[in-house]
Chains A and B, each alone.
Chain A
Amino acid sequence: MAEKTRDHGEQEAAPETAEGAAAPGDALVVAENVHKSFGRLEVLKGIDLQVRRGEVMCIVGPSGSGKSTFLRCVNHLEKLTAGRLWVNGELMGYRQKRGRLYELRDSEIAAQRSDIGMVFQRFNLFPHLTVLGNIVEAPVQVKRVPRARATERAMELLERVGLPDKANAYPEQLSGGQQQRVAIARALAMEPSLMLFDEPTSALDPELVGEVLDVMQDLAGGGMTMVVVTHEMGFAREVGDSLVFMDDGVVVESGSPAEVLSNPRHERTQAFLSKVL
């Protein structure tokens, strides 16, 4: 089944690859000295990162290292305390005018977010809507796509994540792995240029992890730009273009996955990897 979805993905995502190729090397996400504090607790202590178009970046690190918080800063679910963050050349959450920052209105932030898909650890599907309802909700409500067209597109996406027969089921009737695949389809329905994954397989039973990773790998193969917070080192090594190791609110080490995983330079990276590998 995984093979099948992969084929589908490559056909569908072809235009995205072309788009990515049109602007090679330019960064889709730029984080500059990003700080985030909750009260007196400083969770992010100056993150500098760049994610190129089409790149799959995996962020690993011990729990509490700030990797999820950073991901939530990217789509402004968390407000930065200091620093700047651009997605697609747009400053997230603010407008800069004559050296001053102005907060964006809720509707403007919503518009920025609609271009960024996010997949959560706990799926967060809407329990009162069917699988199909979950997927068409945002395109119909936010983008004003006609329902018939949104439904057609939703069925294509369900095909792509391998769940075409679950369109009329409710989320609670699905296994965790199936729910997470629906959540990915829901995010893709907005046709985002960037996908954020916040520990997408951490809440899953071990035997269900593979089906979600397969879908993500297919997505990566289609040229989607992805930032993935994960503990799946195998996925990071095979699918990731780059690997970032975070600890205690800073980026300790980054580079190609093979390099970082097999030859970590930093002591803290070595200590962490010795526990998880």
Chain B
Amino acid sequence: MSGPGSKEPTPGRSAAPITAVPVRYPERWVAAGIILVLAAMFVHMLFTNPAFNWPFMLDNMFSEPVVRGVWVTLSATVLSMVIGVVLGIVLAVMRLSGNPVLVTVSWTYTWFFRGVPRLVLAVLFGNLAILYSTIHIGLPFDNYWMPWLGLEGDARFFEIDARTLLTGYTAGLLALSLSEGAYMAEIIRAGLQSVDKGQTEASQALGMSKSKIMRRITLPQAMRVVIPPTGNETIAMLKDTALLAYVPVTIELFYQLQAIGTRSYQIFPMLVAACLWYLAITSVLMTGQYFIERRFNRSGRGTARERIVGGAH
């Protein structure tokens, strides 16, 4: 090889910096101008259109039932996500178990709950008490096998009135968390499958049991893949709690805001209030998600180096 490559490297030679006329894009400025005018028209409308009725909105947005509704929304989000994640782990492990019954049950569950809209689920669970007026806890099929064995009575230990158990809130929470379980199952399955097979083999070679390998090796590594979409799911779930209004859950945020709007014929300001409340809460969640992901990436890979190296000094 000859040419520049074969020369001795000569570091540190100076050169004059490039000064060139940049390319101009006038059409971009035209587009920006048009959009600015449209934006100004929109802001003007916000302040002048009386239908917004800002004072009314501000007066009612922070009223006591609305603030209580915010707490209901937050608690429903947290609870349905927690149940959803636990359910998702179980379903994902079932799906990957290799047992045909478990695989089929998991697949069917996911198919059903991903296939039915959450709004329909919410209304369906709200009417579940039609199916079961009372809920019995006991041995299954007792009405068949007890007479067959010549036994009298039943094998039910206690019963609950469905209308006490399946109150609006429980029914709605059930609908949301069961549905979430199906989505989380897919996310967690993808996470588990993303972990290299060599990890399992190395753990097996060390004599670790299957459950230990799952808990100590596979799941922690799957988390890196699972956490970002779970953050998105949490934010989506917060918005979907508005569906509880159709169960109906009367103490819920959206229901309360709508109720105030209907009662006072000020429907639009209250819908805007709903937008603002959901925007505010999702913004907080998004900020939280940003920090969680940043932190998680650090402990997982890459910047762990900085922590160690930094700590050594």
Contact = CB atoms under 8 A, between A and B. Distances in A.
A169 B201 contact: no
Interface stretch (A2-10, A11-19, A57-65, A115-123): A115-123
A118 B301 CA distance: 25
B198 interface: yes
Given A127-B301, A170-B308, A141 B221 contact: no
B207 A190 contact: yes
Interface stretch (A26-34, A46-54, A106-114, A260-268): A106-114
A77 B206 CA distance: 11
Contact of A142 (B206, B217, B300, B308): B206
Contact of A106 (B206, B210, B300): B210
A141 B201 CA distance: 16
Interface string A115-155: 11110101011111000000001100110000000000000
Nearest to A169: B308
Instruction: Summarize B's interface: helix, strand, loop or mixed.
Output: helix
A157 to B, nearest CB: 14
Interface residues of B, number: 23
Contacts of A36: none
B305 A173 contact: yes
A172 interface: yes
A230 to B, nearest CB: 18
B201 A110 contact: no
A113 B206 contact: yes
Interface in A144-197: 168-170, 172-173, 183, 186-187, 190, 196
Contact of A127 (B221, B305, B308): B221
B134 interface: no
A231 to B, nearest CB: 20
A128 B308 contact: no
B304 interface: yes
B208 interface: yes
A69 interface: no
Interface of A: 75, 77, 106-107, 110-118, 120, 122, 124-128, 137-138, 141-142, 168-170, 172-173, 183, 186-187, 190, 196
10 contacts: A106-B209, A110-B204, A114-B207, A124-B199, A124-B202, A126-B199, A126-B202, A138-B208, A187-B206, A196-B205
Query: Closest 4 CB pairs between A and B?
Result: A114-B207, A124-B202, A138-B206, A118-B205
